Structure 1
Amino acid sequence: MNIRKNTTWFLSLLILPLFIQCSQTKEEQKPNILFIMADDHTSQAISAYGTIFGDLFTTPNIDKLADQGMLFTNVFATNAICGPSRAAILTGKYAHVNGYCKNEKGGKFNASQWTFISEFKKQGYQTALFGKWHLGSEPEDFDYYKFHVGNGQQGNYIDPVYNDNGKHIKETGYATNLTSDFFLDWMKGLRKKDKPFAALLHFKAPHRPWIRDEKYKDLFDGVEMPYPSNFNDDYKGREKTAGDTWMTMDFLNHRDSKVTPPEGLEGKALSDWTYYGNKPNQAWMPEGCTTLEEARKWKYQQYIKDYLSCIKSVDDNVGRVLDYLEENGLAENTIVVYTGDQGFYLGEHGWFDKRFMYDTSSKMPFIVRYPKEVNKKSRNKDIITNVDFAPTLLDLANIEIPADVQGHSFAQNLKGNTPNDWKQCMYYQYYEYPKWHHVQPHYGIRNQRYKLIHFYYNIDVWEFYDLEKDPQEMNNAINMPEYQNIITEMKAEIVVQQKDLGINGSLEAMRAITDADMGEVE
């Protein structure tokens, strides 16, 4: 009897089922979800998208994600403002459906409604939230959360207070680093290793007032940063819309520009001085400046250096997180998303902030890495919106998408197989007025080449842009004869989009949303 041969045969019978079981487990393993979002981070501040700053400013870790996955160039917020964009992302539904239309007097997001997080939790995922929530309500369906409180849930950059699963805790340090610390601590400790996870890592940075980490306090010293080519936009043909906002460099206040207050100020006097610049006719003059043009350039230099310094900290921490995934064997099976909650103006049109349907503010940076399904260094220019994120993540995890979700999965687009019937335009609507920044409420549609916008609150102004000929949206072509047929077709398409989305197209109903006081986030 050949004992060695029989023993080998016997062991193989024991090992083979285990091998098959392991293979099946690996094959059927659900992907992890890591959704990283930085507040007000715009694509022109990510070097993978191309910037005007050259070697002065790069984002190597975010660029690494783009190198290892897919970079999208036509992803849009359906309402370019923080809270409503976040609500749309969570629910896969437009603001008029999920109920969160504006930040100012917009009330609180109904966190008990369906979100993609609630669905992942239902499907056996461990769920967590770190950083900025900014929706007023208490998060639901998270196994663990630690989010910013104070300043209307904006939080603070230095020594911020967090809501740690219901308990308010003041932490010591810089918010961007701390938020990453808490996520990594959870990954190493509370996370159950036998369950897939769906985690939101949401940085406060680079939101106003753009306070730097000590590490970058001297970054860009002695350097004059370049200006966007349309920094000195005169708003010709757009006087009642782009030309009537409170977000030019004139509206950066003393706090924004890091000016030291005079000695002896306290209470209301100190507060008035700190926020001086927020309102019309408060275009203060920095020391050494003699003209408004010099003042605008001085303020831009302070603003852009602070903003980009905040981004450097975000990029550093993205690197920390990616390193952890790699070192712990999680990179291959984790869908990593990087985005901002909308775009942002870095001096384009002379502005800071967002809100407009113009591309610089409505277009979001969006990068996805998922080695199992997404090719490295791939690029996508399909029109996608933030309501499409939720169904896509569910689709990638082979989870059924609820019928009432308004967004559409672009899982096939991620794999390089854009469906033939993929949408050719997107619908946008902004409601908030006059605070903040005095941007007229408007709606519109955009396709690959053209954009049509209607400003409707207390004016009746239409704007039309040929994005191929005018990518910076400087020339309102609404009255140009050669475009009239296209404009007529797009006006009809707006009606179709509003009907399909369940939007009451009457101006009275839209104005009522703007005027409604739904409460403040405290």
Structure 2
Amino acid sequence: MKYIFIALLACILLPVSAKKKQPNIIFIMSDDHTAQAIGAYGGLLANLNPTPNLDKLAAGGIRFENAFCNNSICTPSRASIISGQYPQTNGVLDLDGALDPEKQYLPKELKALGYSTAIIGKWHLKKEPINFDYYKVLHSQGKYFNPTFREKGKGTWPKNEVKTEGHSTDVITDLSIDYLKNLDKSKPFFLAHHYKAPHDMFEYAPRYEDYLADIEIPEPSSMYNQPFWGSEGTRGKNDSLIHYIGTSISPRHQQKINYDTNYSDRWFGDSIDASLATHLAYQKYLKDYLRCVKGVDDNLGRLFQYLKDEGLWENTIIIYTGDQGMMLGEHDLIDKRWMYEEAMRMPFIVHNPKMIEKNQVSDLIINNTDYAPTMIELAGGKTPDYMQGKSFINTLQGKPEVNWRKGTYYRYWMHIIHHYVPAHFGIRTKDYKLIFYYGKHYLPEEEFSKFYWGKTYNGIAQETPHTWELYDLKNDPNELHNRYNDPAYKAIIAELKAELKQTREELNETDANYPELKAIVDKHWND
């Protein structure tokens, strides 16, 4: 009788324990993979079918239409994702920042919940990812071919280097699959699987040479004509800075620091007509970029098939994102950094068959500080008080969010470095975007010149005009008409400025440590 009772008790308890089993989590992030280069997000490129595997992932779960980064550049975005904090709190403002090990909060919190943790691929936060149980990460940006990794257990950081052969996208996928094959499955796992691709210079695997070769890629109209876009902060007075601000597809941008900063000169020089050069440069830019994207998508197909074959698919939450967006010729701009939609917007797709119904789409405004809190709560924990981001697990469960933010804050700090983008901040709500170009680096001029480029950089990073831009996203989703000086939007601008000011105060983004910047903001706030 005693044994019958124990057997019955086991039968009762087993389903309960199975229900409480924590899900595995694979957090996949590609570098510079913008939402408009994923078929599921629609747009000019959707008919090219660049991402069939990601499209299937989205169809089987939820796609977020309004996911944004708070700084469209690799290092600070990744720091916000790992820490759940904004730059002035986590201390990583730009590419030269390094995330302190004690602020590697996401793996620490997941380990406390019983997870094994690993990161494979791009890290780009300089200091050792010591809080992961295992890591094998690229040095800095890493190489596309035959990449070298730093691996936990192979020596002391940063000398623990391991060489590999092959294209980085293939290699990173192989490494993650091998890691999963050898992993102790007795407890849940968290794997950060991070690709280098499709970061510039778009060095795709040779097998993609013929992909899109005979296709003409659709072109954004704003690459050629946009008379109402921008402000003196992005164009200069009477367009006096159009050859200086914002690297371009066309021959417009004329600075020559380190490399040709317009794509036309990089490949065609001045030997052909400017319009033809722009067209040809755009075709090359997009085809090379999309070939890298195709490599990512094909490799995700391999990874997903492995999970299905091993019976891991149903109990593994898969999250796909990019560390930011990417300008693909819109406004005649390349690279990222800008607060414009294409650079600020991130793809965010979640597969979780035990929680999320198929073909879900959310317009909730989320940002990269929310990712860690959400993953922690998916793992069964609670969002730590020190994180500034918020969990949106209710949305994943089909429930409404309570007291959610009205808009998301953005700040680009570097000012003119690399791609000649002026420093700016702003707020993006569902219907509007307000941007302030304060146009000055946070470092004093003397320290700035010494820190970045020495004497060769003196005079290049000039202070640029301090101006506002407003875009009515509901009526102008492509941001073609700056409405800041339109009297019809006066009340809306006042509301947005009040929201922006309050948000900056709440998020510790008030420039208390940067008096020169604060003086510019105060002086021009009511312009």
TM-score (norm 1): 0.87
**Separation of aligned partners in 1, 2:192 and 2:75:** 15
Structure 2 equivalent of residue 269 of structure 1: none
Counterpart contact for 1:285–1:292, Cα < 8 Å: no
The one of 171, 176, 179 equivalent to 1:183 is 176
CA-to-partner distance for each residue in 1:244-282, whole Å, 9 max, x for gaps?
4232114799xxxxxxxxxxxxxxxxxxx99541389x9
Q: Return closer, same or farther for 1:287/1:435 CA change in 2, 3 Å cut-off.
A: closer
Structure 2 equivalent of residue 388 of structure 1: 370
Displacement after TM superposition at 1:112 (Å): 2.4
Structure 2 equivalent of residue 398 of structure 1: 380
Q: Does the alignment pair 1:419 with 2:401? A: yes
SS of alignment partner, residue 222 of structure 1: coil
**Separation of aligned partners in 1, 2:220 and 2:262:** 24
Which residue type is aligned with residue 246 of structure 2?
W
Structure 2 equivalent of residue 464 of structure 1: 470
SS of alignment partner, residue 319 of structure 2: strand
CA-to-partner distance for each residue in 1:277-318, whole Å, 9 max, x for gaps?
1389x9357279521221122111111101001111100111
Counterpart contact for 1:431–1:510, Cα < 8 Å: no
Counterpart contact for 2:251–2:262, Cα < 8 Å: yes
Structure 2 equivalent of residue 331 of structure 1: 313
Counterpart contact for 2:53–2:298, Cα < 8 Å: yes
SS of alignment partner, residue 176 of structure 2: helix
Counterpart contact for 2:222–2:330, Cα < 8 Å: yes
Structure 2 equivalent of residue 247 of structure 1: 247
Structure 2 equivalent of residue 163 of structure 1: 150
SS of alignment partner, residue 223 of structure 1: coil
Mapping for residues 19-168 of structure 1, pairs under 5 Å: 19-103=11-95, 106-149=96-139, 153-165=140-152, 166=157, 167-168=160-161
Which residue type is aligned with residue 135 of structure 1?
L
The one of 211, 229, 245 equivalent to 2:203 is 211
Structure 2 equivalent of residue 503 of structure 1: 509
Displacement after TM superposition at 1:21 (Å): 3.7
Q: Does the alignment pair 1:487 with 2:493? A: yes
Displacement after TM superposition at 1:326 (Å): 1.5
Structure 1 equivalent of residue 424 of structure 2: 442
Q: Does the alignment pair 1:172 with 2:165? A: yes
**Separation of aligned partners in 1, 2:52 and 2:22:** 29
SS of alignment partner, residue 491 of structure 1: helix
Displacement after TM superposition at 1:498 (Å): 1.1
Displacement after TM superposition at 1:455 (Å): 0.6
Structure 1: unaligned runs, 5 residues or longer: 1-8, 254-272, 515-522
Mapping for residues 215-226 of structure 1, pairs under 5 Å: 215-226=207-218
**Separation of aligned partners in 2, 1:505 and 1:493:** 17
**Separation of aligned partners in 2, 1:78 and 1:382:** 16
Structure 1 equivalent of residue 452 of structure 2: none
**Separation of aligned partners in 2, 1:362 and 1:407:** 17
Q: Return closer, same or farther for 1:50/1:284 CA change in 2, 3 Å cut-off.
A: closer
The one of 217, 224, 232 equivalent to 2:224 is 232
Q: Return closer, same or farther for 1:356/1:186 CA change in 2, 3 Å cut-off.
A: same
The one of 331, 335, 345 equivalent to 2:327 is 345
**Separation of aligned partners in 1, 2:225 and 2:327:** 13
Structure 2: unaligned runs, 5 residues or longer: 236-241, 440-462, 521-527
Q: Return closer, same or farther for 1:68/1:226 CA change in 2, 3 Å cut-off.
A: same
Select between 126-135 and 243-252 the one with higher mean Cα deviation: 243-252
**Separation of aligned partners in 2, 1:494 and 1:311:** 35
Structure 2 equivalent of residue 475 of structure 1: 481
Which residue type is aligned with residue 174 of structure 2?
D
Which residue type is aligned with residue 113 of structure 2?
Q
Displacement after TM superposition at 1:412 (Å): 0.2
CA-to-partner distance for each residue in 1:118-156, whole Å, 9 max, x for gaps?
11112221000011001111112111111111xxx1111
Which residue type is aligned with residue 502 of structure 2?
V
Which 4+ runs in 1 deviate beyond 6 A? none
Which residue type is aligned with residue 305 of structure 1?
K
Displacement after TM superposition at 1:24 (Å): 2.6
Structure 2 equivalent of residue 278 of structure 1: 261
- Count, aligned residues: 480
Which residue type is aligned with residue 372 of structure 2?
A
Q: Return closer, same or farther for 1:274/1:477 CA change in 2, 3 Å cut-off.
A: closer
Q: Return closer, same or farther for 1:507/1:230 CA change in 2, 3 Å cut-off.
A: farther
Displacement after TM superposition at 1:215 (Å): 1.5
**Separation of aligned partners in 1, 2:257 and 2:514:** 38
CA-to-partner distance for each residue in 1:486-511, whole Å, 9 max, x for gaps?
11111111111111112225694474
Which residue type is aligned with residue 223 of structure 2?
F
SS of alignment partner, residue 278 of structure 1: coil
Mapping for residues 284-299 of structure 1, pairs under 5 Å: 286=268, 289-299=271-281
The one of 355, 362, 378 equivalent to 2:337 is 355
SS of alignment partner, residue 347 of structure 2: strand
Structure 2 equivalent of residue 3 of structure 1: none
TM-score (norm 2): 0.86
Q: Return closer, same or farther for 1:65/1:485 CA change in 2, 3 Å cut-off.
A: same
Counterpart contact for 1:246–1:279, Cα < 8 Å: no
CA-to-partner distance for each residue in 1:215-270, whole Å, 9 max, x for gaps?
211212232221113221445452534434232114799xxxxxxxxxxxxxxxxx
Q: Return closer, same or farther for 1:430/1:74 CA change in 2, 3 Å cut-off.
A: same
**Separation of aligned partners in 1, 2:55 and 2:486:** 41
CA-to-partner distance for each residue in 1:317-370, whole Å, 9 max, x for gaps?
111111122222222221110000111111111222111111111111000011
Displacement after TM superposition at 1:13 (Å): 4.3
Identity %: 38
**Separation of aligned partners in 1, 2:170 and 2:48:** 23
SS of alignment partner, residue 335 of structure 2: coil
Structure 2 equivalent of residue 430 of structure 1: 412
**Separation of aligned partners in 2, 1:289 and 1:73:** 42
Displacement after TM superposition at 1:11 (Å): 7.1
Counterpart contact for 1:80–1:361, Cα < 8 Å: yes
Counterpart contact for 1:57–1:308, Cα < 8 Å: no
